[in-house]
Amino acid sequence: MISTREAQTSDYRQLMEIYHELDELHRLRHPELFQLPSGGVSRDKAYMESYLHDKNKHIVVAEMNNAIVGFAEAFVMHAHPFPIFRKRLWVQLDNLAVKKEHQQHGVGTLLLKSIMKWAKSKGIRRIELQVYAFNNNAEAFYKKNGFQELHKSMYFNL
């Protein structure tokens, strides 16, 4: 059985294993943007602790048999104070990752529902995210869960 809960500092090592899998996917597809971190750790413990102690940030883990098999991290965003933009808050889903061997078993959906519950508890009714164009599986997952395309980022190398 899979359950979700808020992340704890003691989850750090297991979370780094999943971050490594996620980061490697991005590094292999976009080596011009991503690199292997020196020391092998892409996020130090202070990074995770900042999430755990900030009321506007949230990390939730999915656990099965006392092992973390996935996580989601999100934070509250505010619109820019330009006159054209409406004043609004939303939750930015920064990462949602499930270990490869546990994908396609509902883990991602449980994590997403947990982030939605957290957003609603803060009175926020919108979640936004970004997906790299190569990540067809993630895009399909979010569309299946009701997300709509908002904008595209493009680049040109000189």
Sheet holding 89-98, edge to edge: 2-6, 57-64, 67-78, 89-98, 127-129
Q: How confident is the model at residue 39 (pLDDT cuts 50, 70, 90)?
A: confident
* Residue ranges per structural domain of the chain: 2-144
By C-alpha distance, which of 128, 121, 157 is closest to 142?
A: 128
CB-based burial label for 112 (10 Å; 0-12, 13-18, 19+): buried
Report in angstroms the alpha-carbon separations of 9 from 13, 16, 83. Answer: 9, 12, 41
Phi and psi angles of residue 155, each rounded to the nearest 5 degrees, phi first: -145, 165
pLDDT tens digits, residue range 56-113?
Answer: 999 999 999 999 999 999 999 999 989 999 999 999 999 999 999 999 999 999 999 9
Q: pTM of whole model > 0.85?
A: yes
CATH architecture of 2-144: 3-Layer(aba) Sandwich (3.40)
Q: Please state, in angstroms and rounded to a whole number, the distance separating the CA atoms of residues 149 and 142.
A: 10
Q: Say whether pLDDT at 40 is over 80.
A: no
Overall size of the chain counted in residues:
158
